A and B are shown apart, each in its own frame.
Chain A
Amino acid sequence: MEALPARDRRAPGALAGDGGPAIVVDQVHMAFEQHGRPLHVLSDVSLTVRQGEFIALLGPSGCGKSTLLRLVADILQPTRGAITVLGRTPAEARRERALGFVFQQPVLLPWLSAEENVALPLRIGGWGRRHAPAATPAELLQLVGLDGFNRARPAQLSGGMQQRVSIARALVSNPKILLMDEPFGALDAITRDRLNEELLRIWSAVRCTVLFVTHSITEAVYLPNRVVVLSPRPARIQRIVEIDLPYPRQPAMKDTPRFTEHTSALRAALEEA
C-alpha cells in the first residue's frame, strides 16, 4: 500500500512500516516557555528503537524524560528535529492507535468499573466496532492478574491494582508500542518488584515495543534490552548501555556479578553526566 522498506515477516495485511524501526528520534530539540524565557529541556536527542525492543530511559529528576515520551505520543511537538513512529508522524501513529500510554498515576475514571476502564479506548472513536480486538478487556484483566475484579471500582482497588488496570487499558487497542512513564514510581518496593515480573511476562506475551521511563537503576537493568542514560537538563543522551542478561529474567539475577557491573556502570554514567 505504501512505499516502505519491505522486510515484512508478518502476516499479509499487517500495518505498513513493519520491519523498520519502531521509533526514530532525530536530532530533537525541545524548549518550553517559562517566565518569558525559553527553558531548554531536550538538546539534540537522537535515538532509534527497534521493533519488539524494551528500552529503559534513565535520568535524574526533571531532566526531560517525560517530555521525550510525550513527544513520541504526540502530546507535545518538538521545537526542532523530527520523530518517526513506525514510519509515520506521531500524530498519524496516535490516530491509528499504534501507541499505548501508561502514566505515572493510573488515571482511571472513578465512575467506571475496572473492566469498563479497560474498555474505554474501544468506545472512543468507535474503535471497538471497527477493529476486532486481539484480547477482550476481560482477558486483559486476566493477563494483568486481576481476574475477578472486573466490576470493582477504582476506589476499591489498591494502587498496584489500579496501575495494572491502566496497563490493561493501554494494551486493549493492541498497540505496537507501549510508552510507560514511571508506571511503578508511586508504588512500594515490594509491589514494584512484583509488577516488574508481571510486565516482563506481559511483554513476552504481547510482543510489543516498550519505552519505559524510570529513575530506578535496578529497574533500568532488570527490565530492558538497552538503557538510555540521559544527562541533567537540558537532556542529552549520555550513554546507551546494552544489557546482555538473558530472558526470561529472574529475580535471582539481581545478585549476580554481571548485574552489579551494569548497575555500577549506570551509576557512573549518571554521575559523570
Chain B
Amino acid sequence: MTATGRVAAHDEGAVLATRPRRRESRLRRLLVPTLAVLGMLAAWQAIVVGFRVPRFIAPSPLQVLEVLRTQHDLLLDNAWPTLLETLAGFAVGNVIAVLIAIGFVHNRVFRQSVYPLAVTLRTLPIVAISPIIVLMLGLGFTSKVAIAALITFFPTLVNMADGLDSVDPQALELMHVLSASRWEIFRYLRWPTSLPYLFSALRIATTAALLGAIIAEWIGSNRGLGYLILAATYDYRTPLLYATMAVASGLALALFGLVSLIERYAIPWRQTSGPSES
C-alpha cells in the first residue's frame, strides 16, 4: 500500500492549476470594451457637432441621452410589452424545439418526416410569414409570441438535435455493457452532452426572439418597441428612435447575459475551474 500512496502523491502534479492571472485578465476584459465604446461615442458626438448634422438625420449621443432621461416613462411603457412577448416567444419556441429534437433521436421516422418540414419552414423569410400569422392569430399578444417563437425555433432544433447526437460512441457502448435503458441513456448521457449545444442556441435565441417581437409589432400594434420605432420614424423624432434602439439593445444584452449566467450554473464542468470546490 505504501507504493500506492507514493504514486498518488506523485500524480497530484497533474491536477490542473489555473488560478493566478485570472483577476488581472478579468479587469482587462471589462476595461478594454468599455473604453472602446466610450471612444466611439465621443467620436460620434464630435462628428455630429463638428459637421453640424441636423438632429432629425442623426442626433448626438448627448441628445439621445436626454431623451432617455426625459421620456423614460414612454420608453418603459413600450419596453414592457415587448419584453413579455420576447420571453413568452423564447420559452414556447425553445421548449417545442427541444421536445422535437428529443423525438428525433428516439424515432427515425419522426426525424425523417419532420426535419425537411422544419428546414422548409426556415427558408421562408420571417417578414413574409409574419403577416400570415397575424392574419391567423389576430393582432393581439398571441401572434407576437408565435412570431418570436418561430424565429427561435429552428436554431434551437438544429443545435439540440446535433447535441443529442454528439455522444461519444464508446460511452454508448459503456451504457450498453451496463444494460442501460433508453431513458437512462438519455438522462445520464445524451441530455448532459447536449447542454452546451442547447445553451449556445439559447444565447442566439435571445436576440432572435426580441427581433421576432419587434417585427410582429411593426405589422400591427399600438404599443411596444416595434411600434415606437415606426412612430418615431414617421414623426422624424430621430433622437427618440435612437433611444428606442438603445433600449432594445439593452434588453437583448440583459437577456443574453441572463442566459450566459444560467449556463455557468447549469454546465459547471465546462470551465476548467481550479480545485476551489473541494
Contact = CB atoms under 8 A, between A and B. Distances in A.
On whether the two chains bind one another, the answer is yes
Given A105-B170, A120-B178, A145 B7 contact: yes
A99 interface: yes
Nearest to B10: A194
B177 interface: yes
Interface string B241-263: 00000000000000000000000
A125 interface: yes
B179 interface: yes
A152 B15 contact: yes
A109 B170 CA distance: 11
A103 interface: yes
Interface of B: 3-5, 7-8, 11, 14-16, 168, 170-171, 173-181, 184, 188-189, 192, 267-269, 272, 275, 277-278
23 contacts: A74-B176, A74-B177, A75-B176, A94-B179, A95-B179, A101-B173, A101-B177, A103-B174, A107-B171, A107-B174, A109-B188, A109-B189, A109-B192, A111-B269, A125-B184, A145-B8, A147-B8, A148-B8, A152-B15, A152-B275, A152-B278, A156-B275, A161-B14
Main secondary structure of the interface of B (DSSP, over half): helix
A123 B175 CA distance: 12
Contacts, number: 85
Given A124-B178, A156-B16, A103 B188 contact: no
A125 B178 contact: yes
A235 B75 CA distance: 76
Contacts of A101: 173-174, 177
A109 B189 CA distance: 8
Contacts of A103: 170, 173-174
Contacts of A97: 178-179
A9 B177 CA distance: 28
B174 A145 contact: no
